[in-house]
Amino acid sequence: MPTAAVRTISLVLVALLARVSPLAAQDKQRPIDIDAFEAVKVVSDPQISPNGSSLLYAVRTASLAQNSRSSATFKAAIAGGAPVAFPDAATNATEARWSPDGKRVAYIAGEQLWVADQAGGARKQLTTLAGGATGPIWSPSGDRIAFTSRVYPACPDDACNATRQKDAAADPVKAHIADQLMYRHWNQWDDGTRAHLFLVGADGSAPVDLTPGVTYDIPPGPFGGSEGYAWAPDGRELAYSAKDSGREDAWSTDNNVYTIPAAGGKPVVITAANKGADENPVYSPDGKYILYHSQARAGFESDRWRLMAYDRASHQSRELLPQWDRNADGYAFMADGRSILLQTTDASREKFYRSTFANGAAGAPQLLLSAHNNSSPTLDHAGRTIAWIQDAADHPADAWVATLGGGGISGVRQISHENDALIAQLKLYPVEDYWFKGANGDSVQGMILRPPQWVPGKKFPVVLLIHGGPQVPWLDQWHGRWNYQMFAAPGYGLVIINPRGSPGYGQKFVDAISKDWGGAVYSDLMLGLDAALVKDPWLDGTRMGAAGGSYGGYMVDWIAGHSDRFKALVSHAGPYNLENMYGATEELWFPAWEYGGPYWDSTAMAQQYRKFSPHLYAKNFKTPTLVTAGELDYRVPYTEDLSFFSALQRQGVPSRLVVFPDEGHWVQKPQNQRLWWSEVQGWLDKYLQPPST
């Protein structure tokens, strides 16, 4: 349990970080629209300087005219003052990283690795690799930089990689040929290249492939970054995450942590005994241990991420926090090595905790920061200044900084102000938490959001939002795609529920959705909706819609065959025919675990595929439904959406199909988002708003 001091700090932070628009400006505020949504600047990747005086952070902006997004890096003084572009306003620099002495910065520009002095001068390009460069991290002495680049594993040098690239681009035949799974992943077909770990001298000496010939990615795709590899404190070794499962790649989650000499040599697996996933190594400052997070159950991508410590002398691993029923999503040693900073999801917020560490053992985590949604912590070398990213449902992400001491966090202040002027113009309510009894009488959490037009005594139509994953929660965050404020803007009250399957409430709660996709979780959603209608009578239960993507799209498809309480539905990228889904998705470990096995397994077929597949209930479809998808979606192939739409159309159910040929599982391009929001809001308005509006 948190100490009294920590509870006090948490309450102080809630007060410090609460964002309330000035009363005088409220009558001039307006609902958010697509132009304002796309104008939001996305702040991320904070990096505090070793001496704690400066902060580098990335800002991503959208251009509707060019239908693209670009990122740049800014540098701000912790003491205050206007931020400046780094290295200059003309360079789109990303992944900026301080050298250990704080005198230089490595960054990516034009898909290559550069280095400059801390003021942005004395710039030098370090790579010209055909496969580009990403994810730079400095060696402890500052003489070398590790990064990754895509190569053809059989190529002995970069000239070979360049030739292979050129030949592939020039070949008029673009056929995909596969001899084994996984032949495509997320939104890309396997082109034969792999991400390898490279080293380059900070003085500009030639880059060296540290893992030549390996046929796996470092780190595993599709989302891994520089958190997947790390330097030992003496600079003589690196550790990295990878998966080398051969033909089992598509149905195995056996990611491992490897070590390799910085001078070159054969990689060594240090986590082979565990057949679940092991990832993201972090060396202790004294070099005795490597922290990593691990999942015990093979084939289950949503098992609890345990915090592990590998003893480099004994070559043994142990779990550090076996009684802590939360995920070790992020972790870092404090400067003295006697405590660990932890990031985890808890009850719809990303929070920071601190745990003591000594002799390979850790103490119970103590809460440090719980207000709103927090991520990407970064510490100065002394461990006294912490910077991080914070956002909330009513405010986009910004960089924040505070002092970290023995008693907790103090002196909290906002460093970046990229969106303050824009947000001041908008009427945005924060989410309101509520709890209710779920399907098994257990406690389930939801959030309610008021529309910008809200006034006492007036009723507003309702939209139930259903998250994907399914083991991914709704957070108190400014979502870049399923943005709560955009759903609420036309005048809708939102009910946002974290049913069983959602992380942040213990692993038993997460496990409860597997092999029960249309069961208790459906009851959680309906019970939570009922509880919200009772709690807030301004929610109009006679005018309700539901919307969801991925698993949320599945649930919308399921609702279409099991409920007539909604007047409109929106389904995006939802599994519809579970047998087809198994055969076409790329990460086969997912349906194998969630559905109990492949569809040719008679038990899985009887208990899952023929019980919980929405297509089996197509005869019950009556609710007007909008169906959206991306053709480059290889996680939930868009043919699932086509099949759902066909069933709706053949039965005369009002329905509409929107397919984006240049999008994957997520709709991300600015103009595509404009169309998507126009279609979604238009569909809900058609069936939920009075004709006069």
Structure-token pair, residue 109: 């520009």
The yes-or-no verdict on residue 2 having pLDDT over 90 is: no
Edge-to-edge strand list for the sheet holding 144-151:
134-138, 144-151, 194-201, 208-209
295 and 441 both lie in a single domain: no
Question: How confident is the model over 186-195, as pLDDT tens digits?
Answer: 999 999 999 9
Q: What is the pLDDT of residue 11?
A: 36
Residue 234's CATH number:
2.120.10.30
Strand order, beta sheet including 54-63: 42-48, 54-63, 68-77, 84-86
pLDDT confidence tier of residue 559, bands split at 50, 70 and 90: very high
Q: What's the whole-number average pLDDT of the chain?
A: 95
- The gap from C-alpha 361 to its chain's centroid, in whole angstroms, comes to 29
| 10 has pLDDT over 60 | no
CA atoms within 13 A on the CB side of 630: 22
Residue type, 63: S
Residue 260 sits in which domain range?
216-319
Distances (CA, A) of 443 to 203, 377, 464, 498, 499: 58, 30, 19, 11, 10
Question: DSSP readout, 203-258?
Answer: T-PPPEESSTT--S-SS-TTT--GGGEEE-TTSSEEEEEE---GGGTTT----EEE
Report the candidate in 619, 490, 644 with the shortest Cα–Cα distance to residue 569.
644
Asked if 305 and 436 sit in the same domain, the reply is no
Cα 331 to chain centroid distance, Å, stands at: 16
What is the pLDDT at residue 15?
Answer: 39
**Residue 108 maps to a domain:** no
Query: What pLDDT does 473 receive?
Result: 98
**Cα dist. 631→468, 634, 639, 664 in Å?**
18, 8, 8, 6
Segment (H or E) for 594: helix 589-594
3-state secondary structure of 49: coil
DSSP code at position 385:
E
Beta bridge partners of 240: 229, 258
pLDDT band for position 692 (cuts 50, 70, 90): low
CA distance 150 to 134: 9
Residue that has been written with the tokens 């200059």 in this structure: 88
Question: How does pLDDT run across 126-176, given as a tens digit for each residue?
Answer: 999 999 999 999 999 999 999 999 999 999 999 999 999 999 999 999 999
Residues 288-325, buried b or exposed e (16+ Cβ, 10 A)? bbbbbbbbebebbbbbbbbbbbbebeeeebeebbeebe
Amino acid at 117: D
Strands in 395-405's sheet, in edge-to-edge order, are: 373-379, 385-392, 395-405, 408-414
For residues 535 and 671, membership in a common domain is answered with: yes
> For residue 583, which amino acid is it?
G
Q: Read off the pLDDT of each residue in 347-358 and give the average, rounded to a whole number.
A: 98
Residues 509 and 647 in one domain: yes
- Say if 129 falls within a structural domain: no
Closest residue by Cα to residue 97 from 197, 198, 24, 202 = 202
**311 plus 438 within the same structural domain:** no
The answer to whether position 600 is within a domain reads: no
576 and 560 in contact (C-beta within 8 Å)? no
How large is the C-alpha radius of gyration of the chain?
A: 25
pLDDT in tens, 82-141: 999 999 999 999 999 999 999 999 999 999 999 999 999 999 999 999 999 999 999 999
With cut-offs at 50, 70 and 90, classify the pLDDT of residue 690.
Answer: confident
Instruction: Report the 10 Å Cβ neighbour count for 279.
Output: 22
Which CATH number covers residue 473? 3.40.50.1820
486 and 627 together in one domain: yes
pLDDT in tens, 288-325: 999 999 999 999 999 999 999 999 999 999 999 999 99
The DSSP 8-state label assigned to residue 30 in this structure reads: B
- Work out how many domains the chain is built from and give that number: 2
Confirm whether 408 is domain-assigned.
Answer: no
Name the one residue in this structure whose structure tokens are 């036309």: 490
Does residue 459 lie within any of the structural domains?
yes
The answer to whether residues 478 and 617 belong to one domain is yes
Q: Is residue 355 part of a domain?
A: no
Query: Do 313 and 445 have their domain in common?
Result: no
In 3D space, the residue among 499, 496, 480 whose CA is nearest the CA of residue 488 turns out to be 496
Residue 7 has pLDDT above 50, yes or no: no
**Residue 275, Cβ density class (10 Å: 0-12 exposed, 13-18 middle, ≥19 buried):** middle
Instruction: Tell me the C-alpha to C-alpha distance, in Å, between residue 673 and each of 72, 488, 627, 661.
Output: 22, 16, 15, 13
pLDDT of residue 200: 98
- Whole-number pLDDT of residue 26: 59
Q: What's 457's DSSP letter?
A: T
Confidence of residue 5 (pLDDT cuts 50, 70, 90): very low
**If we measure between CA atoms, which residue out of 166, 250, 263, 168 comes closest to residue 210?**
263
Q: What is the Cα–Cα distance from 43 to 74, expressed in whole angstroms? A: 10
Q: Is 156 left (phi over 0), alpha (psi -120 to 50) or beta?
A: alpha
What pLDDT, on a 0 to 100 scale, did the predictor assign at position 19? 45
Q: Is 624:680 a contact under the CB 8 Å cutoff?
A: no
The answer to whether residue 147 sits within a structural domain is: no
* Domain-located, residue 271: yes
Same domain assignment for residues 435 and 313: no
Considering the entire predicted model, what is its pTM? 0.95
Average pLDDT (613-642) is 98
Q: What is the pLDDT of residues 570-600, one digit of tens each?
A: 999 999 999 999 999 999 999 999 999 999 9
From 265, 296, 319, the end of a domain falls on 319
**CB proximity list for 318: less than 8 A, separation 6 or greater:** 308, 309, 311, 360
User: pLDDT at residue 4 above 80?
Assistant: no
Which helix (H) or strand (E) is 682 found in, with range?
A: helix 670-688
Q: Where a domain ends, among 253, 286, 319?
A: 319
Last residue of a domain, one of 319, 343, 358: 319
